[in-house]
Chain A
Amino acid sequence: MPNSLQDGFVEFAIPSDLNEARHIQEIIETQLRQCQYEDLEIFGIRLAMEEAIVNAIKHGNQLDQAKKVRVRFHIRPDRFDIGITDEGPGYDPDDVPDPLSVENLERPCGRGIFLMRYYMTEVVIHPPGNRLTMCKVRKEPYVKGDYVV
């Protein structure tokens, strides 16, 4: 069950289960559509969320179902904010090899953070590295309630 927080965020605590990850993303996608977010914006947010939540479940919590992933998000007409926290030891994002360098181009993994940073306005990985926050700031005019700002 989600918690509605005083700051307007909604928070879920899910087990380290990829089906749960998909379910929560579907809930958020539905709400983004209800808030008139455009397909291209939703494409980027969905991709960034998938990368972040799967990283938390697989690399952070090592698929240990006893460990939780906390997902808190806030959808406003002008921006979308999300925070993802796992129970792992964290990591240093500077240790992740540059996926665009020639020697890494054929590596099958290591593109998640790059994709998050490309599609979101801001991505912050908080030390020790088990909490990530990111936002997507929308370009005006965006739909606010029943009128365009």
Chain B
Amino acid sequence: MSAAEYLLPYDFSPLTILTYITVLGLYSYGLFSMPNSDRPGAGRIFTFTLGVLLCYGVMQTLFDYYSQYMFFVHRGQHLILHHLGPILIALSNPLPVMQYLYRQIPKSALPFLAPVGWVYRCLQHPVLASLLFFGLIYLWLWPPIHFDAMLSRDLYWVMNWSMLIDGLLFWWLIFDPRSPATTNALGYGKRMLCLAVVAIPQMVLGAYIVFARGMVYDVYEVCGRAWPMPPETDQLLGGLLTWIPPAMMSILGILIILRRAMRDDTTSNVSNKAAKEATQ
């Protein structure tokens, strides 16, 4: 097989390609035209691009073919769409670029964007965000729905896009670069609580799939696998991918937030001290 066959989409989706081009286009436009002082450094630009390209790669290359016909590859695909890709994008802190782009929107158009803001604020309620995060995993892995999603092209696209969008929302809520001390961003304690709360149901589901004696997802049996592999092995690997990496990512997330909270504490202590000394 040639390199082109690996890199070209298995299931060509113009809308998906257009969305990725728009996102990267807007990001580069923002980077080039924004003031030098606000521009993110090379490391952050690389992290953002890597996150976006990873998500693109699992949706519009031959990887998508294997995701459709191997359960464990499908779990890997969702691990990237719902976890790794959005984590990289959120950690790259594209906020300055987004703020610059927001300022370019004509004032007259802002009232029309208000409903988007309402929906966004609702979805970013920590309870709803956590519920949606593991709820979507349960929804798409509920065997009858999983079966339909794998049989219907439309439903399959809805599944992958809903996982990506929810991943971006959740991890943006968690890794919001603004400090909760000075803005209305979610407090560090609540962020860590969200991470712990979503880890548990994922571990339970993963363990259930790993230890299931029968076939939980027979759609791969019904529709044929990409290559002959024992169904038990496929299910076991898929279960492990649902169980271990997401749990690890929650813990890593908690550590990152903890470090941020400690750093914020130190800076606020230093400034408090400075303020005290200044008054004395």
A and B pair up = no
| A contact residues vs B (CB 8 Å cutoff) | none
| B contact residues vs A (CB 8 Å cutoff) | none
